[in-house]
Amino acid sequence: MKHLLSMADLSREEILEILDTAVSMHEVQHRDVKKLPTLRGRTIINFFFEDSTRTRSSFEIAGKWLSADTINLTGKGTSVSKGESLRDTVKTIDAMGVDMMIVRHMASGAPAQIAQWTKCSIVNAGDGMHEHPSQALLDAYTMRQRLGDLEGKHIALVGDLTHSRVFRSNVLCLTTLGAKVTLVAPATLMPAGMGAWAQADGIELSHDLDAVLPTVDAVMMLRVQRERMSGGFFPTAREYAVTYGLTKDRLRLLPDHAVICHPGPMNRGLEISGDAADAAQSLVLDQVSAGVAVRMSILYHLLAGETSGAQSGEGSAA
């Protein structure tokens, strides 16, 4: 595996291998010295054309904890802002001999195009409204840590599906792992063509959140991406919260064992209430913690793989 561009590129076995490796990587976060020598001598560029807190910082931490040299770039800090093409910019960086570029871009398909222009490994850190594979892997890891094997588990993805790259990667990841997936959204935020996709992959569609919640093992609330909306997708924020928000009252509909996820950043009071975000069954901060471990695992599998044992690396760092 050289690139991570889409969850569709990974088999069930490859997903499980990344998640299993992340378990040992997660232990590093509890050490006094958070450092493994696994990627010593490797150079990783975090190239973000869109703002990010969780993804960018966790990839940077992951690289540094694996002893890679990590450099952060933004579109504003490169010659792209002077009119240079994306192709020339990434080929210039690639010519410097870097080992990996982690790319977030506002255009769907940009990381896949960059992978055709460069020799280094490319990781898709979110491209437009297309995909966000590392987020889906960390979401699956977090739920798996609490619920066990996700085979047969019922997971609902709720909210702004039309503008969400997280939902697309999560559907691919969760169905590959054998989970039962239900998508819940108002008709205006249900992507066109979902009926055919749902039928092919056994996904259920619903507009009734109250009917779905009592049956789930996990519910993932998706951010309402108002910055991507150019029209009226719902009448008012209050009406959306009442109809599709995970409110304090709706918490009572969840089974006792069910968990709550949100990929962040959260619009408290819109898609999720403060009571739900801070509830005992909320895994929101667990997802953030898992993000570093899973991204360490991704970097390891792309840059070290089978030739450089993770276990031996951990032992020499202890």
Domain boundaries, the chain: 7-132+288-317, 134-286
Check if 7-132+288-317 and 134-286 are the same fold: yes
- Residue 53, both tokens: 């807190």
CB contact at 8 A, 151 and 178: yes
Residue 82 marked in a binding site: yes
Angle between helix 12-26 and helix 165-176 axes, rounded to 10 deg: 100
Confidence of residue 113 (pLDDT cuts 50, 70, 90): very high
CB contact at 8 A, 217 and 255: yes
Least confident of 124-128, 244-248, 306-310: 306-310
Residue 104 marked in a binding site: yes
Residue 207 marked in a binding site: no
Mean pLDDT, the chain, rounded, equals 91
CB contact at 8 A, 42 and 307: no
Residue 135 marked in a binding site: yes
Backbone angles phi, psi at 268, to 5 degrees: -65, 135
Confidence of residue 232 (pLDDT cuts 50, 70, 90): low
How far apart, in whole angstroms, are the C-alpha atoms of residue 287 and residue 268? 17
Average pLDDT on 76-102 reads: 89
Closest CA to 176 of 44, 3, 49, 15: 15
Residue 284 has pLDDT above 80, yes or no: yes
CATH architecture of 7-132+288-317: 3-Layer(aba) Sandwich (3.40)
**Sequence-separated (6 or more) residues with CB below 8 Å from residue 84:** 78
Residue 54 marked in a binding site: yes
Residue 235: predicted pLDDT: 64
Residue 55 marked in a binding site: yes
Per residue in 136-175, pLDDT tens?
999 999 999 999 999 999 999 999 998 899 999 999 999 9
Residue 31 marked in a binding site: no
Residue 40 marked in a binding site: no
Is CATH 3.40.50.1370 the classification given to domain 134-286? yes
Give the long-range contacts of residues 196-205, CB within 8 A, separation 24 or more. Answer: 201/171, 201/175, 202/175, 203/171, 203/175, 204/180
Q: Taking CA 148 as the corner, what is the angle to CA 164 and CA 218, rounded to the nearest 5 degrees?
A: 40
